[in-house]
Chains A and B, each alone.
Chain A
């Protein structure tokens, strides 16, 4: 996981393990990144382990960004994350668009 300050927008790449075992540290990282930047991009391409907690964190991030007028862009959902989203019932583009309106390189 890394914050890349050289880019115009700050991007945060989520670590491979975003399951409950590691979600606390991922949460801290997202909060830290969220607090610093006007615009945050979260790269989900490396996520290898995901579960309900990962989905909830992404949902909360999107909701918080939306509420504060600082949209968070989610990019490159990994296969593992996509599978977990499907298992949780986020099984269509429309549903995902509804919850993650700022996603890119989608699902």
Chain B
């Protein structure tokens, strides 16, 4: 097991922090007064800066520092985060990301331009006189002469990229400080963890600043430290000597012992061990344990709840489980053919364990779809700005889990769908106003579990599809004969035809007719399907139906002639026997299922199976979304845990199969592609319909 490159660890962590930062910035655009969002953005920035410096990404640390400084007025509440400011901050975030992921693609000039923009925005409405800071740093009027602080950091704080020395320096900016290191926690060499923090500090801050000002200094690490504060009271007007102004001329620490100030409200410092010097003698007025119980618990939870694992290892594990499932199927078959009861019992036990292991492994690969949804907020923000269409972006079902491979495959189709929804779906402000709609359009992105599938919907409240225009375009391109009778649903399917676009102008975003066909193909490659529904003037909803995983599925094993095939169980609605009446409808290929006519395909004909058909043919009713189709087979063998193996390039053109699997006896079975079969049945049915009409 090779250790990960520390720089790679940083890149991964930074990637997560960028998501937090971007989310916070985008939310700030909506809720500019939310202090928690500002703090969240700053925490992310601060960690990126600290970790960047720790792992040698000096440019990242330096740029992020500038970013932090420029954005500081927002943090102090002096200015509100406007949309323009948020846009520049997002650009700054992108620049930092580029510095980390692809430094060659960056240029210092771009970084400087972004910082200039940022500084211009934050200084645009600078108040005439500082309101917040001035009183804090003014000479103390009251009897209070400053603060006595005792700082004890969590041992792991240095590993997180935080630097206590920077914090001490920030503290010294509030006023003259006497900093005394407390070294009693330093262990002997053999007991030392060199990256842990053992030093503690006792600080006397001679400034009548507020507690909030001190809290601000430690806001990013407040959960990882113990800060004990008590006020100092002046007993004589002896100006204390600030430590950091004396870097040239050394301060006389011995003076610390002299009572320049005296502490009030004394009490021992919480959890502090006896100190060798500068023992805090005061009872702290404010004692912040940073919610110790929760933190301690939380820390423990974090320790056991999350383990970072390389994605390839999960893939490898899944492959192994797949092989195990196949081997188990062989064992089960072998045991069933013999009469040894003990072998049968072991086979059953292994089957149970393999099934449980499969579920656990698949669970480990599941990722909440929210990790994907977060990316689209930026997309909507940018498109909304570029197209001057105010758009509200609403997401739901972020906790819905999907296999990580599915999540990766789903990103591009969703980008296309959201772009289309904003570019073509949402009308411009004037049109919306004319139609009595609000200025702001709305895009909803939702995910929900539905049986063994996940439904992902992209819904807009725009103008809906223009069926007449789609039809006209289809006729113009020769896809249908003029005057052909088609339902609206059928007409909308032309949108998935390669090169089909009704856009009158081609923009950078859409209109070239490339996109929806790619979306459909991608979704079908994932063994999913896509549905469109639209209401004129009210909007369009695109629904993606996806299986939970691409690796192992529950399948229904059937026999057609000598061949055996798998139908994904998630697509199977029911199984019925093909009646004599249905048989008599030969040529029409319709099945009467409780009063509903369902078209069916005879798999024997489709697979060109030899030999006589079984006397009692079975029909498996499958569905994709709204459409149902029957598949007629010779025999339904039963459920089968199907480890999906991809087909060779030689067979990639055979669209009605989505893969293959190995059965217990070592032979292969092909997996039927449900979406393709439904589409095949539909076109067959349409041709038949047209012939009959003729």
Q: Contact residues of A with B, CB < 8 Å?
A: 19-21, 23-24, 26-27, 30-31, 34, 51-53, 55-57, 59-61, 63-64, 67, 83-84, 86-95, 99
Contacts and interface: CB of A to CB of B under 8 A. Distances in A.
19 contacts: A20-B158, A20-B159, A21-B54, A23-B194, A52-B197, A52-B199, A53-B158, A59-B183, A60-B189, A60-B192, A63-B186, A84-B165, A88-B164, A88-B168, A88-B181, A88-B201, A89-B179, A95-B181, A99-B183
Given A60-B192, A88-B181, A94-B253, 20 more contacts: A19-B54, A20-B159, A23-B194, A27-B189, A30-B189, A52-B164, A52-B197, A53-B195, A56-B186, A56-B194, A56-B198, A64-B189, A84-B165, A86-B247, A87-B168, A88-B165, A88-B168, A88-B201, A91-B246, A92-B253
B253 A31 contact: no
A93 B78 CA distance: 43
B507 to A, nearest CB: 47
Across the A-B interface, the 10 shortest Cβ-Cβ residue pairs: A89-B179, A27-B194, A89-B181, A92-B253, A64-B189, A23-B194, A87-B165, A59-B186, A64-B188, A92-B250
A91 B249 CA distance: 10
B253 A57 contact: no
A107 B168 CA distance: 21
B393 interface: no
Interface of B: 6, 54-56, 158-159, 163-165, 168-169, 179-181, 183, 186-190, 192, 194-195, 197-199, 201, 243-244, 246-247, 250-254
Contact of A57 (B168, B169, B194, B243): B194
B189 A20 contact: no
Give the interface centre of B163, B180, B183, B199 by most chain A CB atoms within 10 Å. B183
A63 B168 contact: no
Nearest to A95: B253
A72 B692 CA distance: 102
Given A27-B194, A91-B179, A91-B243, A60 B251 contact: no
Contacts of B250: 91-93
A60 B190 CA distance: 9
A51 B165 contact: yes
Contacts of A61: 189
Contacts of B197: 52, 56
A24 B188 contact: no
B129 to A, nearest CB: 32
Nearest to B168: A87
A89 B251 CA distance: 10
Contacts of B6: 21
Contacts of A26: 194
B251 A67 contact: no
Contacts of B243: 86, 89, 91
Given A52-B163, A52-B199, A95-B253, A24 B54 contact: no
A27 B197 CA distance: 14
Given A89-B181, A95-B253, A99-B183, A53 B55 contact: no
A30 B188 CA distance: 12
A67 B470 CA distance: 87
B164 A60 contact: no
A107 to B, nearest CB: 9
A67 B186 contact: no
A94 B250 CA distance: 11
B19 to A, nearest CB: 25
A17 to B, nearest CB: 9
B197 to A, nearest CB: 6
A83 to B, nearest CB: 8
A48 to B, nearest CB: 13
Contacts of B198: 56
A20 B54 contact: yes
Contact of B169 (A27, A51, A64, A87): A87
A18 to B, nearest CB: 10
Contacts of B189: 27, 30-31, 34, 60-61, 64
Contacts of A20: 54, 158-159, 195
B240 to A, nearest CB: 13
Contacts of B254: 92, 94
Contacts of B201: 88-89
Contacts of A34: 189
A69 to B, nearest CB: 13
